[in-house]
Structure 1
C-alpha cells in the first residue's frame, strides 16, 4: 500500500504539471494579447503595461511557464504589486489580489456545498438502489426506477428556480440560500445550504439509485452469493458482506469523479442560488476575461478530479480484498 501511495502521489504530481502546462500554453499561445485578457475588459493603459511586464511577455513562452511554475512552489515578486507567496497562481488584475487568496476564500463555499450534497445523494441513492434490488420486479422497484428516471431528466436550474420560488420566496419555509462559515455558526451554515444540498442531490440520487440497483441485481445472482445463502448465512450478512461489496466498486468509481467535479465548481448550482464558490468564480473569470483566475479555476477542477481518482484507486483494496495494490 505504501509503495502504491508513493507512486500514485508522484503520478498525480506529474499529471498536474502536464495539465498546468497544457492550460498555460493554451491560453498564452492564443493569437490574442494575453495581457489584455489578464487585465480584464476594463483596464487602464498603465495597468495594461504593468500586466505585460508581470506576465513576462518579453520572454519566450517556455521561460514564462517555468517562471509561473516556479512561483507555484516558491512564490514570486510582481513589480509594482508586491510579493506573492507560494503557492502563487498569479495575480488577478480584475480583483487586484493574488489568485490563490481568492481561491482559498471561495473554496469553503464549494466544499460545504459538495460535502453536504454528497452525503445526501450517496445515502439515499445507494440505500434506495439496494431496496429496489431486493424488491426486484415489485412495486417498490418500479416506483424507484420511475422516480430515478424523472430525477435524472430534470435540470438543476429548473428545479432550483421552482424550489426558490415556492419554498423560499412564497412559502417562507426555508431561508434564502447563503453561506455562513461552519466554525462561526453551524446551524446557520446548515440552514443556508439546505436547499442547494437537496436540489443538487436530487440529480445525483437518481443516478446512484439506478447504478446501485442494476449492479446489486446482477451481484445477487452470482455464484458466490448463492453459495453464501446455501451455507445458511443470514440474508442481511449475504447482502451487506457479499453482494454490497461488489456493488460498491462502480459506485465508488463514479463517486470519485462526481466529487472531484463538484469540488472543481458546481457552476449551475452556485449560479442558481447565488453562492460565491469556485464555480461562480470561474463564470466571473470568463465574463471579465480574467486569465490568471481562469487558469487557476481550471487547475483546481483538474486537480480535484486527479486527486479523487487516486483516492478511489486506494479504496478499491479496502472494498474488495481481491484487488491488490502494487
Structure 2
C-alpha cells in the first residue's frame, strides 16, 4: 500500500511540474512583453522596469524558470499589480465561498442522485423507474445558468413582489458567527448546483446497479436468504462505488478550481468569479494562480480517488 501511494504521489508531482512548465512558457516565453501583460496597458515605463526587476525578467530564461518553480512550490503565486495584493492572498480570500458551495452541493447531489438511481434500478421499467428517468432527463436538459435564473425569479423575485423574503438574491456570508445565515445564503446555489449534477449521479448509479444486480454473486446472495436491502446496499452498492468515486473526484476538483457559472449567477465572490474578473482585466498573475490552483486540486483529487480505490477493491492493492 505504501509503495502504491508513493508511486501515485510521484506521478502527481510530475504532472504539477509539467503544468507549471507549460504555464511558465505560455506567459513568460511566448511573444510579447510579460511585464506589459502583467501591469496592463496604462503602466508607465518606470513601472515596467520595476516589474521586470521584481519578476527577474532581466535574468536568463533558465534562472527565471527556476525562480518561478521555486516560488510556486512554496505557494507564492505572484503579485497582482492591478489589485496591489499577492495572488495567494486574493485566492485565499475567495476560497471560503467556493469551498462552501462545493461541500454543500456535494452533500445535496449525493443525497438526491444516488437514492434516485438505486430506486430506478430496483424497479426497471416500472413507475419508479420512469419517474427516476424523468428526473435525470430534466436535470441534464437544464443549463445551470437557466436553472439559476429561474430559481432566483421564483424564490427571490416573486416573494419580494409579494412583500416577504424567502431566500436572499445571493452573496456569501461566512460560516461563523452565524451558520444559519451562511446556509440561508447558499441554499439556492446548492440546489441549483445539485439538481444538474444529481441527475448525472442518478444516471450513473442506475446504469451500474442494473449491471451489477445481474451478476452471479448477487443471485447467490439472494439464494442464501439475505434481505433485499442487504443485497443491494452491502453487495450491489460496493461494486457501484468505484465509478461514482471517479466521477466525484473529478467533479469536486473542477468545482474547487472555480464554479464559474454558479458564482456569477448568485454573486458569490469565489475563485470562479475571481478568474472571470482576471480574464476580463487581463490580470495575468491571477490567471496563472487560478490555473495552478485548479491543477493542484485535480492532482490531489486523483490521489484521493486512487487511495479510495485501494480501500474499496483489494484487487487494486
Q: Name the TM-score, length of structure 2 as normaliser.
A: 0.94
Tell me, yes or no, if structure 1 residue 105 matches structure 2 residue 67: no
Tell me, yes or no, if structure 1 residue 67 matches structure 2 residue 67: yes
Corresponding residue of 2:162:
none
In structure 2, how many angstroms separate the alpha carbons of the residues matched to 1:44 and 1:298?
Answer: 28
Is there any run of 5+ residues in structure 2 with no aligned partner, and where? 160-164
Shift of 1:315: 0.5
Q: Which moved more, 1:61-70 or 1:264-273?
A: 61-70
Tell me, yes or no, if structure 1 residue 39 matches structure 2 residue 39: yes
Q: Which moved more, 1:192-201 or 1:163-172?
A: 163-172
Deviations 1:182-204 (A, max 9, x none): 13211111111111010011110
2:166 to 173, 195, 206: 173
Corresponding residue of 1:295:
288
In structure 2, how many angstroms separate the alpha carbons of the residues matched to 1:281 and 1:32?
Answer: 24
Report if aligned partners of 2:24, 2:68 keep a CA contact under 8 Å in 1: no
Report if aligned partners of 1:256, 1:308 keep a CA contact under 8 Å in 2: yes
Shift of 1:42: 4.0
Q: How does 1:1-326 map to 2 (within 5 A)?
A: 1-73=1-73, 86-171=74-159, 172-324=165-317
Shift of 1:41: 4.4
In structure 1, how many angstroms separate the alpha carbons of the residues matched to 2:204 and 2:247?
Answer: 10
Q: Which moved more, 1:112-121 or 1:156-165?
A: 156-165
Shift of 1:285: 1.0
Q: Name the TM-score, length of structure 1 as normaliser.
A: 0.92
Shift of 1:3: 2.6
Deviations 1:126-165 (A, max 9, x none): 1110011011110110111122112112111111111112
Shift of 1:61: 2.7
Indicate the RMSD between aligned Cα atoms, in angstroms.
1.4
Aligned length: 312
Shift of 1:32: 2.0
- Structure 1 residue runs of 4+, over 6 Å off? none
In structure 2, how many angstroms separate the alpha carbons of the residues matched to 1:137 and 1:60?
Answer: 68
